[in-house]
Amino acid sequence: MPWTRDQLAERAAKELKDGFYVNLGIGIPTLVANHIPAGMTVTLQSENGMLGMGPFPTEDEIDADLVNAGKQTITELDETSYFSSADSFAMIRGGHINLTILGAMEVAENGDIANWMIPGKLVKGMGGAMDLVAGVKRVVVVMDHANKLGESKVLKKCDLPLTGTGVVNLIITTLGVFEVKPDRSGLKLIELAPDVTLEEIAEKTEAAYEVAL
């Protein structure tokens, strides 16, 4: 069985470590916040200018001056700090954020990622994605293994315009987990989703990879 959205988030949460400062992308990555292990201190950064993001507010707690990078209303915690967008991206670009978990349209075997633009379709913009992949120490992608046409999203080379080159460290898809080798020379398949076979992965993956289960 391929992993569900929530199971992808649960698997991605295993990449968290005590004391980490983490930036979570929009979509499945946001769900990772629900799987932070009890007793582990993980501080969530929101690139619009906040460290220490709390849960969504109750109706009574809603504050228009307090939103996350997805423009959703949120709350603060005791340890929260606020800062400007320039300070926020100094944290990101300066390598102070330990981990970012992002969605992607395509990832290549050398760690290239495309997640912001489809030529011919309306382009909304890259937001902070290019800064995050270039600046954060460890970049983890969570995504469907295949696109809506059933084509592999784990590729030899990305077709779509890139968000960053050679920046991805780990790819968690609905079918399994691939590690990008530190020298960017290729992928290692290190984990399979329950009941997913090596044959199924082979059939549905365009990129070359070593099996290292």
Partner 1 sequence: MPSSPKVFPDAKTALEGLAFDGMTVMSGGFGLCGIPENLIAALRGSGVTGLTVISNNAGVDGFGLGQLLTTHQIKKMISSYVGENKEFERQYLAGELELEFNPQGTLAERIRAGGAGIPGFYTATGVGTIVAAGKEIKRFGDRDYVLETGLTADLSIIKAWKGDARGNLVYRKTARNFNPMMATAGKVCIAEVEEIVPVGALDPDTIHTPGIYVDRIVQGTFEKRIEQRTVRSSSEAIAQNKTAKEEA
- Say how many residues make up the chain: 213
Instruction: Judge contact between 146 and 166, C-beta under 8 A.
Output: no
How far apart are the C-alpha atoms of 75 and 66, rounded to whole Å? 7
Site string for partner 1, 124-143 (x = CB under 8 A): xxxxxxxx--xx--------
47 an active-site residue?
yes
- Residue of 169, 178, 166 whose CA lies nearest to 205: 178
Q: Which of residues 96-125 bind partner 1 (CB under 8 A)?
A: 112, 122-125
In angstroms, what is the minimal distance from the CB of 193 to partner 1? 29
Pick 71 or 148: Cβ nearer partner 1:
71
Contact 44, 36 (CB under 8 A): no
Number of residues that bind partner 1 (CB under 8 A): 55
CA–CA distance from 208 to each of 37, 40, 55, 63 (Å)?
33, 36, 40, 48
Task: State both tokens at 70.
Answer: 């997805």
Q: For residues 24 and 45, what is the distance between their CA atoms, to the nearest angstrom?
A: 8
Comparison of 39 and 182: residue with beta carbon closer to partner 1: 39
Nearest approach in angstroms of CB 65 to partner 1 is: 4
Q: 47, 106, 109, 144: which one contacts partner 1 (CB under 8 A)?
A: 47
- Is 43 a binding residue for partner 1 by CB under 8 A? The answer is no
Nearer to partner 1, 175 or 180 (CB): 180
* Closest CB 86 distance from partner 1, rounded Å: 4
List the interface residues with partner 1, window 75-94 (CB under 8 A): 76, 82-86, 88-90, 92-93
Catalytic pick among 47, 106, 109, 179: 47
49: left (phi over 0), alpha (psi -120 to 50) or beta: left
Q: What does each C-alpha distance from 138 to 25, 100, 208 come to in angstroms? A: 14, 6, 22
Nearer to partner 1 among residue 6 and residue 210 (C-beta): 6
CA angle 134, 68, 38 (to 5 degrees): 85
Return the number of the residue (96 or 197) whose C-beta is nearest partner 1.
96
Binding residues (CB under 8 A) for partner 1: these are: 38-39, 46-50, 55-60, 62-68, 70-74, 76, 82-86, 88-90, 92-93, 112, 122-131, 134-135, 161-166
Catalytic residues: 47
